[in-house]
């Protein structure tokens, strides 16, 4: 289940009534909402590590929703974006989805559908957040390996046997065995298969 | 013997007496005869003189009759050759002459109507009034009866009616006042007037229709913006209502929340209906109606209609009002339409040219001769001279899907308000379209001027 206590639903729309009604709807669904009447205000408040999702209007004076999406993509944000728009503008919808939008809803929207999208977006964000955390921890572990251990780690992860690695590195199989056990320990793995998985995460 | 002698003497005397008497008688007879002869001659002379006189008189009379007849013929020819129907009437209103044109107009032979009353030639109610007005003229001598031509309805022999123009001319003859009445058949003229009126109505209708089309077309261009404006409150209402349902389902009800939701729904609903009524007043199709307003109000209303479209195209639309402008009597919707046209044109041109920081500025200024000046200026690339020359030509458009109605119609609408619309040809940068409108004072002055020149 999504950790709703921790996640925030961000809403960006230039229309005060839309913001207010969405805040109320999200509140009744037990979600925490944070509203902004323009992309600029959202950006000044934005912190990449905070979990959540973004409900974003497209037509706004000043910066549009699509432009905000582009900026967020540039800074590597993983915040899922649910676009809401008053216009049934198909080319814009297609562009938004191509650029990685999570969903696209036309105003006025059904609350069940919106809340369903929000829930899915939050769980996606949570999952992605976890993956990022996992990757970051693997990278941190790899960084603790010595250069020689790193070489052995890569070759083991590639599925090579101790003998093959020993001959490739011009070391004895016995030495390789010692390095291998160090790598297993430092990478918190119990088998060559696990090492291979950890290797894949970083790619 | 003596006795006899005496007797002889007596006889002789008697004989001489007789002889004397005879001679005297003869003499008398001769005189008588001579006198008689003289008398005869005189008589002859007299007779001759009388005969001569007679002859002359007859000749004179013949000449006069001839001249009179010629005169009458000329008059008759003149009357008959006239285009107007002309008939003469005596002071009792009885007809004594009726020309050919009148015969043709009325379908009567002159013989049928001579002696009849003038009133038979007129249709009701003029028929009943004609004798009365003739009488009152004869009594009062009111000259207005003669001075003006009047339009009436006449009646033909077959009972059908036709419009006429009528003049009355009077003259005094040995028989008293007589009238000549001149009549012009107005059927053709009236029909032509009717036709012209019908055409004018058609032209007006076509213009209204065109205005409607252009207005709808223009509105089509900003319809997306309007739809957005209506959709926003609708979306909010939907979300509020759905939140309301959730609040009712919640285990712990907060009464204030429900009240808040209802209040917000109400507020958003009236917001939506305001947009609709604004839109409705803009597309209202009908004849032009003038009302007293200010150009500020019209521009403000226009900007609320245009702002969404401007935002959408990211064009800054700015209004720099001049304070203390005099009020105007205009059809607000038409002036709004002109402004919308000019602003939308500018926005589209700016978009097409991909101008950095696109901008449209509206200005108002008072001008001489009780005019106000309204301009719409953009910072786009200047319109070429060739295009400028054709800008106001109907069906000319530089836009791919343009109808080419906008500017020519705008010009017509402004002209109908007594103003003019044009492009400023002297600008180095950007484009400035401007129009003028007379203020209410200018309108008052103009009508006063007309009154004084008429009086």
pLDDT digits (tens, 9 = 90+) for B379-429: 988 888 888 777 777 666 666 555 556 787 788 888 888 889 999 888 888
Quote the domain boundaries for residue A105: 8-134
Can you tell me the distance from the alpha carbon of B277 to that of B288, in angstroms, rounded to the nearest whole number? 19
- The size of chain B, in residues, is 455
Residue A3 lies in a domain: no
Residues 6 or more apart whose CB falls under 8 angstroms from that of B139 comprise: none
Would you state the pLDDT for residue B3? 64
Query: What three-state secondary structure class fits B156?
Result: coil
pTM of the model: 0.46
End residue of a domain, out of A134, A158, A193: A134
* CATH architecture observed for domain B82-185: 2-Layer Sandwich (3.30)
Would you state the pLDDT for residue B352? 85
Q: Which of A20, A28, A61 sits opposite B311 (nearest CB)?
A: A61
Contact (CB, 8 A) for B309 and B344: yes
Residues 6 or more apart whose CB falls under 8 angstroms from that of B152 comprise: B122, B123, B126, B163, B164, B166
Q: Which one has a higher pLDDT value, B203 or B33?
A: B33
Contact (CB, 8 A) for B126 and B112: no
Check A25 against B250: CB less than 8 A apart: no
Contacts across the A-B interface (CB distance below 8 Å): 74
Tell me: do A130 and A149 sit in the same domain. no
Residue-wise pLDDT for B333-365, tens only, equals 888 888 988 998 898 889 888 888 999 999 998
Check A20 against B228: CB less than 8 A apart: no
Would you state the pLDDT for residue A35? 96
Would you state the pLDDT for residue B216? 66
Residue A140 lies in a domain: no
Tell me: do A79 and A41 sit in the same domain. yes
Choose the mutation target among A24, A26, A113 for the interface with B, i.e. most B CBs under 10 Å: A24
Q: Is the pLDDT of residue A115 over 90?
A: yes
Å between B237 CA and nearest CA of chain A: 8
Contact (CB, 8 A) for B154 and B123: yes
Q: Is the pLDDT of residue B369 over 90?
A: no
Alpha helices in B313-361 (DSSP H): 332-352
Going by pLDDT thresholds of 50, 70 and 90, the confidence category of residue A116 is: very high
Which of B156, B145, B148 has its CA nearest to residue B122?
Answer: B156
Residue A29 lies in a domain: yes
Residues in B 141-200 with any Cβ partner in A closer than 8 A: none
Residue B320 has, within 13 A of its CA and on its CB side, a CA count of: 11
ipTM above 0.85, yes or no: no
Q: Is the pLDDT of residue A36 over 90?
A: yes
Neighbours of B322 (CB within 10 A): 14
Largest CA distance in chain B: 217
- B29 touches A at CB < 8 Å: no
Q: Which of A15, A28, A61 sits opposite B232 (nearest CB)?
A: A15
CATH class of domain segment(s) B290-455 = alpha beta
Check A24 against B312: CB less than 8 A apart: no
Q: Which of B224, B243, B311 sits opposite A24 (nearest CB)?
A: B243
> What is the number of structural domains in chain A?
2
Q: Which of A17, A22, A61 sits opposite B268 (nearest CB)?
A: A17
The torsion of the CA quartet B423, B425, B428, B430, rounded to 10 degrees, works out to 10
| Domain B190-287: assigned CATH number | 1.10.287
Q: Which of B227, B264, B311 sits opposite A20 (nearest CB)?
A: B264
The alpha carbons of chain B give a radius of gyration, in whole angstroms, of 52
> Which CATH number fits the domain that encloses residue A64?
3.40.50.2300
Going by pLDDT thresholds of 50, 70 and 90, the confidence category of residue A20 is: very high
Residues in A 10-39 with any Cβ partner in B closer than 8 A: 15, 17-18, 20-22, 24-25, 27-29
Which of B370, B368, B273, B288 has its CA nearest to residue B336?
Answer: B288
């Amino acid at each position: 289940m999504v950790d709703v206590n921790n996640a925030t639903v961000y809403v960006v729309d230039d229309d005060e009534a839309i913001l207010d009604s969405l805040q109320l709807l999200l509140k009744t669904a037990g979600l925490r909402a944070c509203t902004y009447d323009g992309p600029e205000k959202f950006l000044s408040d934005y912190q990449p590590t905070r979990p959540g999702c973004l409900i974003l209007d497209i037509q706004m004076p000043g910066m549009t929703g699509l432009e905000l999406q582009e900026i967020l993509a540039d800074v590597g944000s993983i915040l899922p974006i649910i676009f809401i728009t008053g216009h049934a503008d198909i080319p814009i919808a297609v562009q938004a989805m191509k650029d990685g939008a999570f969903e696209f809803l036309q105003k006025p929207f059904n609350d069940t559908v919106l809340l369903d999208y929000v829930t899915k977006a939050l769980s996606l964000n949570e999952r992605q957040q976890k993956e990022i955390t996992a990757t970051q921890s693997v990278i941190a572990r790899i960084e603790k390996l010595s250069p020689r251990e790193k070489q052995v780690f890569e070759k083991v992860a590639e599925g090579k046997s101790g003998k093959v690695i020993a001959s490739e590195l011009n070391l004895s199989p016995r030495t390789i065995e010692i390095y291998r056990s160090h790598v297993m320990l430092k990478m918190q793995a119990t088998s060559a298969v696990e090492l291979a998985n950890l290797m894949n995460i970083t790619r | 013997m003596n006795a006899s002698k005496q007797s002889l003497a007596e006889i002789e005397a008697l004989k001489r007496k007789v002889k004397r008497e005879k001679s005297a008688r003869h003499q008398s007879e001769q005189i008588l005869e001579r006198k008689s002869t003289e008398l005869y001659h005189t008589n002859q002379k007299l007779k001759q003189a009388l005969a001569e006189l007679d002859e002359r008189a007859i000749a004179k009379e013949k000449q006069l009759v001839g001249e009179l007849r010629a005169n009458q013929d000329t008059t008759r020819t003149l009357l008959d050759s006239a285009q107007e129907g002309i008939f003469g009437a005596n002071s009792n209103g009885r007809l004594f002459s009726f020309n050919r044109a009148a015969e043709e107009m009325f379908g009567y032979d002159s013989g049928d109507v001579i002696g009849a009353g003038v009133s038979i030639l007129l249709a009701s109610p003029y028929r009943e009034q004609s004798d009365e007005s003739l009488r009152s003229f004869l009594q009062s001598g009111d000259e207005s009866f003669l001075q003006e031509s009047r339009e009436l309805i006449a009646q033909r022999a077959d009972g059908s009616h036709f419009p006429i123009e009528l003049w009355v001319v009077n003259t005094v003859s040995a028989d008293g006042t007589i009238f000549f009445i001149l009549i012009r058949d107005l059927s053709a003229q009236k029909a032509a007037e009717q036709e012209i009126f019908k055409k004018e109505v058609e032209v007006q209708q076509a213009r209204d229709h065109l205005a409607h089309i252009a207005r709808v077309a223009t509105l089509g261009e900003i319809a997306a913006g309007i739809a957005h404006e209506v959709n926003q409150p609708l979306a909010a209402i939907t979300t509020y209502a759905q939140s309301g349902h959730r609040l009712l389902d919640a285990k712990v009800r907060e009464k204030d929340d429900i009240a808040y939701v209802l209040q917000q729904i109400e507020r958003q609903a009236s917001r939506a209906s305001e947009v609709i009524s604004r839109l409705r007043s803009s597309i209202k199709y009908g004849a032009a109606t003038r009302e007293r307003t200010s150009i500020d109000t019209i521009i403000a209303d226009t900007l609320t209609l245009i702002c969404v479209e401007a935002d959408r195209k990211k064009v800054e639309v700015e209004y720099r009002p001049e304070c203390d402008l005099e009020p105007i009597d205009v059809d607000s919707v038409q002036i709004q339409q002109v402004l919308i046209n000019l602003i939308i044109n500018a926005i589209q041109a700016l978009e097409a040219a991909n101008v950095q920081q696109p901008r449209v500025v509206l200005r108002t200024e008072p001008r001489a001769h009780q005019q106000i000046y309204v301009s719409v200026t953009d910072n786009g690339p200047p319109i070429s001279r060739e295009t400028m020359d054709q800008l106001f030509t109907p069906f000319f458009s530089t836009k791919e899907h343009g109808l080419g109605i906008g500017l020519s119609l705008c010009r017509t609408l402004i002209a109908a308000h007594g103003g003019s619309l044009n492009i400023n040809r002297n600008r180095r940068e950007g484009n400035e379209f401007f129009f003028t409108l007379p203020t209410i004072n200018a309108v008052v002055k103009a009508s006063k001027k007309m009154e004084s020149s008429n009086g």
